[in-house]
Chains A and B, each alone.
Chain A
């Protein structure tokens, strides 16, 4: 117990960074995902093409590699040297935007054509149709998949320790190496579990709220 209290401050520090990466990624990549999913359906071939390549790469390579690539790669190629935290957030945003875009694309496709026809003969313009007809339905359809990604994101944040960022995982690893005990890892695991449980409850609640219609 005494030992736990002793290592808790450093773990909480790590937790702070983990949550920072988590929330920044979520807040930026959710709206970006909407935009990219619209680009995927653009009239312009070039835009669709670029978007598809981007999504293929992001989904087809490990996030771990992407983190290392952005952090070390950009400086090796003499492009720019990003601070660790910024490099990590950039990578996570790029990666998760791609996943969210795919999810939203599916959600948009799931809106029946008749809904658009119904809106059009009532005189709604494109924006009104998106805002009042399609979007609410898309949000409902994508919520379970978005929820899965949110849980994945919590766990994926542990990958940032490879470039030496002091997240929860790294805080635990330092304590384990120093004190030769597994207790820090157990604590770290408990933290992740707690986080994923909290977000699961939140997502379930939102899903339930959206279940007032079929």
Chain B
């Protein structure tokens, strides 16, 4: 369960959002929509712990997450808009790096997890490819697998369909639905309205439902 309470953010005195509060339960997909420049990515970055909020709180599965922008942790699995895959590592290495050096899992454990994720996300045949050898949709799925490998409490996607064709978009939809059926807590930022509708979840419109 993700619960956001009274989250407020401003840049140089300009309020981006004020007293933002909502919850996302396991098995739920919350879609955040709104026009460009409204603050969707800003919110995601705060949730990810990358930039500070002014005030408010973020609670995930009963645990308070910091909002000072200095967090270093994998509680929030982030799928960035441009993926931020590590170019010098193969698909498998991208997925296993954090489990290996951060979670300090045994080799047998992280190899098994990686193999399952690769199969699940239809990446097995690309396991030894480098990111530059992948299509946008494939990179997207690697980013999802990489986040999942750390067993995050919530998955947050920033514009997961930008730059993808219809087939790839449908694929992302079905992945999100598959994870939903496994009780994942998910949050999707998008301005692709048909895609947002296909997710069948709660929709939070930043241009209407948010104070500023």
Chain A residues with Cβ below 8 Å from B101 are: 124, 128, 132
List 9 interface pairs A-B (beta carbons < 8 Å), by A numbering: A114-B82, A117-B80, A119-B86, A123-B74, A124-B101, A132-B101, A137-B87, A140-B88, A213-B88
Are the C-beta atoms of A137 and B88 separated by less than 8 Å? yes
Known: A123-B103, A128-B101, A214-B132. A118 touches B72 (CB 8 A): no
* A120 CA to B86 CA, complexed, in Å: 12
Q: Is B114 an interface residue (CB 8 A)?
A: no
Indicate if the CB atoms of B88 and A121 lie closer than 8 Å: no
Query: Do A122 and B74 touch (CB < 8 A)?
Result: yes
Q: Does B130 contact A (CB under 8 A)?
A: yes
Interface size on B, residues (CB 8 A): 28
B159 CB to nearest chain A CB (Å): 14
Residues of chain B within 8 A (CB-CB) of A212 are 130
Taking the nearest CB of chain B, how far is it from the CB of A12, in angstroms? 42
Measured between beta carbons, the chain A residues less than 8 angstroms from B74 are 121-123
Q: Is B49 located at the chain interface by the 8 A CB criterion?
A: yes
Question: Is residue B16 contacting chain A, with contact meaning CB distance below 8 A?
Answer: no
Q: Check B98 for interface membership: any CB of A closer than 8 A.
A: yes
When chains A and B are docked, how far (Å) is the Cα of A136 from the Cα of B103? 21
- Complexed CA–CA distance, A38 and B210 (Å): 42
A133: CB under 8 A from chain B? yes
Q: Is the CB of B150 within 8 A of A122?
A: yes
Interface residues on A, range: 20 to 34
- Residues on A with C-beta less than 8 A from B103 are 123
Which B residues are in CB contact (< 8 Å) with A213?
87-88, 130-132
Q: List chain A residues, Cβ under 8 A from B131.
A: 213
> Would you call B85 an interface residue if the criterion is a C-beta within 8 Å of the partner chain's C-beta atoms?
yes
Partner of A118, one of B49, B76, B80, B130: B80
With CB as the reference atom, state the residue of chain B lying closest to A112.
B84
B94 CB → nearest A CB, Å: 9
CB-CB nearest in chain B for A128: B101
The residues of B that contact A148 with a CB separation of less than 8 Å are: none
Please indicate the chain B residues that have their CB under 8 angstroms from the CB of A115 in the complex: 84, 86
A56 in the interface (beta carbon within 8 A): no
Q: Is there contact, CB below 8 Å, between B80 and A123? A: no
A117, B88: Cβ atoms under 8 Å?
Answer: no
Q: Is B78 engaged at the interface, CB distance under 8 Å to the other chain?
A: yes
User: A121 to B76, Cβ gap below 8 A?
Assistant: yes
In the complex, A128→B74 CA distance in Å?
Answer: 14
List A contacts of B72 (CB < 8 A). Answer: 120, 123-125
- Chain A residue nearest to B132 in the complex (CB): A214
Beta-carbon nearest neighbor of B130 in chain A: A213
Q: Which residues of A contact B48 (CB under 8 A)?
A: 117, 121
Q: Are A121 and B49 in contact (CB under 8 A)?
A: yes
**Contacting B102 at CB < 8 Å: which of A114, A117, A122, A137?**
A122
Among the interface residues B48, B72, B74, which one has the most CB atoms of the partner chain A within 10 A? B72
B175 within 8 A of A: no
